[in-house]
Amino acid sequence: MSAARTGRALVTGSARGIGAAIAARLSAEGYEVVGLDVAPGADLRLDVARDDLRAEDFGDFEVVVSNAAITTTIAPAHRMSAQQWQRDIDVNLTGAFRVVQACLPGMRARRYGRIVVISSGAATGGLAGQVAYSASKAGLLGMVRTLALEGARRGITANAVLPGLIATEQVRAMPPEVLVRARRAMPTGRLGAPDEVAHLVSFLASEPAGYVTGQAISIAGGADLNPVSLGSDREE
């Protein structure tokens, strides 16, 4: 049996949290991983929304994982400023497209590629106080389906991963009462781990995942399930 294809993988937003877990997982599986972030420690220090993305830096990636995002813009829709809205869209949606677009010529020439975009449960369920974030993450779903259609006959897949509440550094820093309330609302009774997201991404990035494309895959511990029961409240 021949070894599965690995090659080079680009992971944006790789400095911490889910991005760091994805980069570590892909590296452990044999990929040559290049991390991209605005924060120190990344191989490429770039702002995906504003900086020049040179073709020579992006032409030879078999895998691109678009994870970089702003998650901290908090304002109800009636008070969100135009600047807040635009920055979320610029980074989370336009930035994701710019990175993927820079990788596409090489993938098309090789007739092989794996595109994995990190969206969010907010893309389908909404998130009060974060209308720009939710809109930007929802826009990624349309982008992924179009990329999947355009790449299907060239060996290029595109899929979206929709994490729920994951125990990243930022989430763990939330007030304890908020975390308790979040856990109680989860059917699983716990938060997700970054490495659980990384495992899902690693499968979608693999050669054997070639028949999975255009999908939006939730990894949210059942948060999108209906918790209402018409029977007994007692645990079975």
Known catalytic residue at 211: no
Helices 96-110 and 131-151 meet at what angle, rounded to 10?
Answer: 10
Those residues whose C-beta lies under 8 Å from the C-beta of residue 142, and which sit 6 or more positions away, are none
3-state SS of the chain is CCCCCCCEEEEECCCCHHHHHHHHHHHHCCCEEEEEECCCCCCEECCCCCCCCCHHHHCCCCEEEECCCCCCCCECHHHCCHHHHHHHHHHHHHHHHHHHHHHHHHHHHHCCEEEEEECCCHHHHCCCCEHHHHHHHHHHHHHHHHHHHHHHHHCEEEEEEEECCECCHHHHCCCHHHHHHHHHHCCCCCCECHHHHHHHHHHHCCHHHCCCCCCEEEECCCCCCCCCCCCCCCCC
Residue 233 clears pLDDT 80, i.e. is over it: no
Q: Could you read off the pLDDT of 92-135 as tens digits, one per residue?
A: 999 999 999 999 999 999 999 999 999 999 999 998 999 999 99
User: Does residue 51 contact residue 29 with C-beta atoms inside 8 Å?
Assistant: no
Residue 236 clears pLDDT 60, i.e. is over it: no
**In terms of pLDDT, which residue wins out, 79 or 228?**
79
pLDDT of residue 114: 98
pLDDT of residue 93: 98
Residue 3 clears pLDDT 70, i.e. is over it: no
Tokens encoding 220? 């949210």
pLDDT of residue 234: 60
pLDDT of residue 194: 96
Record the pTM: 0.92
What is the total residue count of the chain? 236
Neighbours of 50 (CB within 10 A): 12
- 178-191 mean pLDDT: 85
pLDDT of residue 1: 41
Tokens encoding 236? 């079975």
Catalytic residue among 31, 112, 133, 211: 133
